[in-house]
Homo-oligomer: A and B are copies of this chain.
Amino acid sequence: MSTFKIGEQLRHLREEKELPLRKVAALLDIDVAILSKMERGERRITKDIVMKLAEIYSYNVNELLVSFLSDKILYEIRDEDLGIEALKVAEERAKYLIMNKKV
């Protein structure tokens, strides 16, 4: 999947901290190439990585997670005319499920 926003956001944060991929990748214990690709949307970003990066960059983790999740959601409805409608229905259903403690 390609990331729409979270990748850019993470790159932006890294550049603000003036950290090279090399250092951040080392902290995450992953290859530089993978981090590079994650920031540019060529590799999947995992929830785990997002949380670790929030820690590394001292950034609000929930905000990053919402970006991460909304990217995944938008990916599911890319090119779909009924996307907005599906989002509304999904939200109704999610609220209902939460009320009944199912999600």
A65 to chain B, nearest CB (A): 5
A86 engages B103 (CB within 8 Å): no
Within 8 A of B (CB), among A70-103: 70, 72-74, 76-80, 82-91, 93-95, 97-98, 103
Interface string of A46-71 (1 = CB under 8 A from B): 00000000000000001001110110
B94 engages A87 (CB within 8 Å): yes
Question: Given A84-B91, A88-B91, A103-B83, are A69 and B73 neighbors across the interface (CB < 8 Å)?
Answer: no
Interface residues on A, range: 20 to 34
Q: Which residues in B have their C-beta under 8 angstroms from that of A95? A: 84
Q: Which residues in B have their C-beta under 8 angstroms from that of A82? A: 62, 65-66, 69
Complex CA gap A85/B87 in Å reads: 12
A90 engages B70 (CB within 8 Å): yes
Question: Given A77-B73, A94-B74, are A66 and B84 neighbors across the interface (CB < 8 Å)?
Answer: no
Q: Which residues in B have their C-beta under 8 angstroms from that of A88? A: 91
